[in-house]
A and B are shown apart, each in its own frame.
Chain A
Amino acid sequence: KAGVTQTPRYLIKTRGQQVTLSCSPISGHRSVSWYQQTPGQGLQFLFEYFSETQRNKGNFPGRFSGRQFSNSRSEMNVSTLELGDSALYLCASSMTSGRADEQFFGPGTRLTVL
């Protein structure tokens, strides 16, 4: 069974640009969550999607947005990039969005903003 895949794996952008990251969950998984990981802040929750609906949102500015498609694939978009957006962006999928569900993480997209 294929794991969670994320594309691209590495990305370099400049301030002010926008970026779209993609996540394909494990087949059959309907919940996708996004996290930002930085050395200073650790892993921080961005948002969670389940059946194309955003179910939870973390404390990030509106420049960070996402969506989920009918095949459960998800994208996140960051507009007007800032230097501080440089991070590893991880997505995780689970069968449902139930409390006990183990989340399986993808390899991440390393975003560098210059």
Chain B
Amino acid sequence: GQNIDQPTEMTATEGAIVQINCTYQTSGFNGLFWYQQHAGEAPTFLSYNVLDGLEEKGRFSSFLSRSKGYSYLLLKELQMKDSASYLCAVNHGSGNTGKLIFGQGTTLQVKP
């Protein structure tokens, strides 16, 4: 079966660093995505990892360990606008097909 786990809620302070963890157990793996979704809006792409290691993109970094079925999203220098839901998704497709399996999402609240 497919299982992707993330914490339901997290709270952090403006200017701080927060790490959102994601563990997965899927029968297929073709990469892991992180999406950000503000309330009432569509998800927007943040990062993609297919090989082990850290991918850095500005204030956002994402890490993947395929052997451990584990990823995290690191947000630095938090801003109030970072308050949103963060979705971890595994590309479960085989070959050239794409099929994202999403976790339930982590609601991050940034406080002043």
Contact = CB atoms under 8 A, between A and B. Distances in A.
Nearest to A98: B96
A42 B106 CA distance: 11
Chain B interface size, under 10 / 10 to 19 / 20 to 34 / 35 or more: 20 to 34
B87 A108 contact: no
Given A43-B87, A56-B93, A97-B93, A105 B99 contact: no
B98 A42 contact: no
B41 A104 contact: no
Contacts of B44: 105
Q: Secondary structure of the B side of the interface?
A: loop
Chain A interface size, under 10 / 10 to 19 / 20 to 34 / 35 or more: 20 to 34
B98 A107 contact: no
A99 B98 contact: yes
Nearest to A56: B99
Interface in B77-110: 87, 89, 91, 93, 96-105
Interface of B: 30-31, 33, 35, 41-45, 48, 50, 87, 89, 91, 93, 96-105
Interface of A: 4, 31, 33, 35, 42-45, 48, 50, 55-56, 58, 90, 94, 96-108
